Structure 1
């Protein structure tokens, strides 16, 4: 139900077309205190036009407000404040929720449009660290939010499976690697070799030349280099999949950088034939001076391809393959200039759809105020964090509810949910200081608090022992605690759309916290299970809360256990 549209329609009639409906709706405000009404309209804009004081206009307009949905209107200084008919509105909203059930809050704004999301994208042969968490969970949440808004989504894990780091790794493996150790513990051993390379190169700079040579060999299809690269990739994917299974995240494609090896030359030829490629100190670049950007490096002086070359090929391939309405790149903010360059080059090639490509940056996870770095070994493994969170959740369940069935599954939902929500409740542009203690707190604005609120609502419904809740209400809910919950439930679809519009899961996360807090106040003050005349309505409200919280939790990528 659109409260603002209802109010603006009444105002439009009362003002006798003095303002357009859209203009009226844009001026409507939500009072800071609910004691001042549900909505307010400031009359300042009309003063000059009507040649009356705003306060006088407010008095006149308040008397003319006429709507079944509005219980009363009153003038407070220059404002017209309205109070909605709680009983009537709550009945209507609850009917909508019960009727739509798990589809409540979904939208059709993206119907028939495709969205490609490039996220997670870890580098193979390196452990999946906390540094990868943000792209992974923000990307997954945005995919789910887009689905809820009616878009078709394609989730791409653009693996970092190509580049000069593989020359370094092959060099390190040939110099210090032991086949038996790598076979026993692939990622850990390869990670140690990668760190050792960066330690040794400080004293032996010639190692960098050797690494570059090996990467060139890999690009040329050298059998030994290709065999080692294939081993690094397959073992990495096994490790990554275990973590994705823990997080409950799936992808439509694992086509990484290497997938575009046979597609890059066509891009380079296009650039050359369009006279965009220029020589620069032995390398080849596309100048972007007109866009106030540094030149985009297309090919190194040794002929090796680059990150940008592959992203150009990937952009063209994805447009052809998916015909996207939007292509979202959920990648850290340090890549901002890179994506501007890629878009700039595509635009110079005449691909106007490059404007549909959007970089979704985010801040970093910091450890002791510093960026986590695999190169320097300053890293916290995501799998370790998830397992510790699950263990802590299991311990909490054993203490609080030892009789609970399916404890392991619930502990997984709660533990993983705690880690996910700690990330998603933050504005994505903020840096987050890594703190296991904060992440795993089971009180306050946390994932476990949301899940527990939902489980509490389910518990009330079980205790009521009602087979089904009738969507026929003889008494609406008109107490203030119910009303705050009803107003928030009504915002579900709008918040989902706002989350997509801003490409920010934190909008949805904060909304769910507000709803859970309002529900817990309702639970504390209203005797839900007392069989009063509005018993069915109270149960309907509780049911509606479970529908919205479950949908919200699942959309963020979290489980929603019915018992905790």
Structure 2
């Protein structure tokens, strides 16, 4: 007969399977945009076909270039042949043949007007009529422009946010949540089926917290706090304080100051020695309560489930304000029994071994030899010897790199690493992903290095090629001191920042509602748009920077709001609004214009650059996904917005609402679509008007 915990986890497994079907079906029903159907990709394919007699032509780099600087639109080179043959032979033999092939192909004159050699490059000048093809792509695809089928048929599991039960979300969770969501959108844009997963740390340490809650409640000593998750957090802090006091004699001051609450936790004591004994009893009681929870005891399970709900209630408020929706919520608890069973199975096969004194002696000899060979310093030696001693009796996986991964303590208790390993196994078996991505803080780099090595050495991927990736991020830091923000400070400041940012942008709408150039907005429109601008500015500020580096955070929220607004997200939204205002004022609509009748022969240089930059969006999205770097997309959008703003200021499209330059209306429409589509992938949806 199954216990309550097993029944609970069976229900979660059923939910996972149901949701997986929904995610898979939604991905298929949303459709794909074949990359090869974009005009630029067709052009590249034509160039490659014309040079099918050239070795390694498929690896040619074909990219847009600055026309003002190079007097051409596209540059071509083949790095492999340059390396293989050397520059002299490449330029004297390969390049002339490519030029000859292009000039003899159907591309010449129709798509390509001129071919020139510039050192190791072949520069191509596009025919003016071909620029209409780039515009047609945007018009025909609309809000799907930029998407591709690059990874159609592949799935990716991305783990991000991962909060801790009985604690508050901290700044690292904020970054992980925003970066993980943006990466998910970019992966989807490239054709992946994306499974968004939130891994809740809801198991380790809960025995002590539950025992503390029961004791404090019985003694009428529960902390007075505003919400229930904060109650759990205060209990957690008290258990940590009790542990610190018991583990060191240097904590006498804390001991004296905290006697009352320590008595409520462990019972009466007369001196420090008796306190340590009482604390040891508390620890054992916590372990017993946790074992009871593991066995599915009704009272323990219901208390744990209630506490889990308290934490999730707080976390969900945060996700709601940021408009973040994960597909799956899977906790450590889901893998608890699976972890123990897994270790026992691997003990039988010898893939997991007990770390005996004999094995420890071998490891000691290895690190001592490394020290004698001057490959490690004394401080490292001491740390490694300490770890070896601590691991004796534990159950480990000996990794090919020479490291060992502890997956079960000497007392038979599974640990975080056990559940991480089993969760990786579950994800690989359930989703059959081509990529398994963890967006987690940089401090866990070594853990994931060992985890991935263990996955491969145990063949949990069943021989399949799976890209296992830990994507780390830097912290939010105090702008003045450079110090990492505390857990409480980081999350609360960001939540307050969102709320204050909404007020800030709302006030801007109020200001625009009065005066000679007053605009009319409904109250609902003001509130909705203010929230879009606030969240978009914060998200864009986060992802436009290299995610490995920290983000400064000011104590004064108004400074953060201004700096986030100036970081570019709102600027891009304003550029989109400008373009859309032209489209709205025009007496002719884009869909009413026959693009075949438009003359593109007299395009201004800035118009050529804008059209080419718009046409580059699919490639930029692919590159952002392949490198797991949203900053590439953010930088592209900033450049496009900047160039369009200059265009908007200097080139007329309408006269008194009448369209006088149809090609400029088409360009404005294409730019607005490209910026809006790209910005949505950055979790920054632009308002219809600002």
Smaller-chain TM-score bracket: 0.7 to 0.9
Q: Quote the residue 1:357 is aligned against.
A: 468
Q: Is the CA contact (8 Å cut-off) linking 1:119 and 1:158 kept in structure 2?
A: yes
Q: Secondary structure at the match of 1:458?
A: helix
Q: Is the CA contact (8 Å cut-off) linking 2:211 and 2:289 kept in structure 1?
A: no
Superposition pairs for residues 422-461 of structure 1, below 5 Å?
Answer: 422-435=541-554, 436=557, 437-438=559-560, 440-441=562-563, 444-461=566-583
In structure 2, do the counterparts of structure 1 residues 158 and 216 end up closer, same or farther at CA, with 3 Å as the change threshold?
A: farther
Alpha-carbon offset, residue 488 of structure 1: 1.2
Q: Is the CA contact (8 Å cut-off) linking 1:469 and 1:536 kept in structure 2?
A: no
Q: Quote the residue 2:433 is aligned against.
A: 324
Q: Is residue 302 of structure 1 aligned with residue 390 of structure 2? A: no
Alpha-carbon offset, residue 172 of structure 1: 4.7
Q: Secondary structure at the match of 1:249?
A: coil
Superposition pairs for residues 224-303 of structure 1, below 5 Å?
Answer: 225-280=300-355, 281=391, 283-293=393-403, 295-303=404-412
Q: Quote the residue 2:686 is aligned against.
A: 560
| Equivalent residue for 1:107, pick from 145, 148, 156 | 148
- TM-score of the two chains, using structure 2 as the length reference: 0.73
CA distance in 2, matches of 1:305, 1:34: 63
Q: Is residue 470 of structure 1 aligned with residue 587 of structure 2? A: no
Q: Quote the residue 2:257 is aligned against.
A: none
Q: Is the CA contact (8 Å cut-off) linking 1:214 and 1:225 kept in structure 2?
A: no
| Equivalent residue for 2:446, pick from 318, 337, 352 | 337
Q: Is residue 387 of structure 1 aligned with residue 499 of structure 2? A: yes
Q: Quote the residue 1:96 is aligned against.
A: 137
Q: Secondary structure at the match of 1:441?
A: helix
CA distance in 1, matches of 2:573, 2:445: 35
Alpha-carbon offset, residue 4 of structure 1: 8.2
Q: Is the CA contact (8 Å cut-off) linking 1:73 and 1:81 kept in structure 2?
A: yes
Unaligned regions of 5+ residues in structure 1, if any?
none
Query: Which has the higher mean CA deviation after the structures are superposed, 296-305 or 480-489?
Result: 296-305
Q: Is the CA contact (8 Å cut-off) linking 2:160 and 2:439 kept in structure 1?
A: yes
Q: Is the CA contact (8 Å cut-off) linking 2:113 and 2:126 kept in structure 1?
A: yes
CA distance in 1, matches of 2:222, 2:610: 60
CA distance in 2, matches of 1:227, 1:500: 43
Query: Which has the higher mean CA deviation after the structures are superposed, 386-395 or 278-287?
Result: 278-287
Query: Which has the higher mean CA deviation after the structures are superposed, 229-238 or 356-365?
Result: 356-365
Q: Is the CA contact (8 Å cut-off) linking 2:170 and 2:489 kept in structure 1?
A: no
Alpha-carbon offset, residue 465 of structure 1: 4.0
CA distance in 2, matches of 1:462, 1:186: 50
Q: Is the CA contact (8 Å cut-off) linking 2:54 and 2:98 kept in structure 1?
A: no
| Equivalent residue for 1:538, pick from 640, 664, 668 | 664
Alpha-carbon offset, residue 74 of structure 1: 4.0
Superposition pairs for residues 131-146 of structure 1, below 5 Å?
Answer: 131-146=172-187
Alpha-carbon offset, residue 109 of structure 1: 1.9
CA distance in 2, matches of 1:504, 1:476: 38
Q: Quote the residue 1:371 is aligned against.
A: 484
Q: Is the CA contact (8 Å cut-off) linking 1:274 and 1:349 kept in structure 2?
A: no
Q: Quote the residue 1:313 is aligned against.
A: 422
Alpha-carbon offset, residue 414 of structure 1: 0.6
| Equivalent residue for 1:514, pick from 639, 655, 659 | 639
Q: Is residue 220 of structure 1 aligned with residue 292 of structure 2? A: yes
In structure 2, do the counterparts of structure 1 residues 333 and 404 end up closer, same or farther at CA, with 3 Å as the change threshold?
A: same
Q: Secondary structure at the match of 1:155?
A: strand
Q: Is the CA contact (8 Å cut-off) linking 1:12 and 1:18 kept in structure 2?
A: no
Q: Is the CA contact (8 Å cut-off) linking 1:126 and 1:190 kept in structure 2?
A: yes
Instruction: Give the alignment's Cα RMSD to 1 decimal.
Output: 3.4
In structure 2, do the counterparts of structure 1 residues 18 and 534 end up closer, same or farther at CA, with 3 Å as the change threshold?
A: farther
Unaligned regions of 5+ residues in structure 2, if any?
1-37, 248-275, 356-390, 515-519
In structure 2, do the counterparts of structure 1 residues 55 and 500 end up closer, same or farther at CA, with 3 Å as the change threshold?
A: closer
| Equivalent residue for 1:161, pick from 202, 205, 215 | 202
CA distance in 2, matches of 1:113, 1:7: 25
Q: Secondary structure at the match of 2:654?
A: coil
Q: Secondary structure at the match of 1:255?
A: strand
Query: Which has the higher mean CA deviation after the structures are superposed, 238-247 or 360-369?
Result: 360-369
Q: Is the CA contact (8 Å cut-off) linking 1:95 and 1:471 kept in structure 2?
A: no
Q: Secondary structure at the match of 1:304?
A: coil
Alpha-carbon offset, residue 456 of structure 1: 1.6
- TM-score of the two chains, using structure 1 as the length reference: 0.88
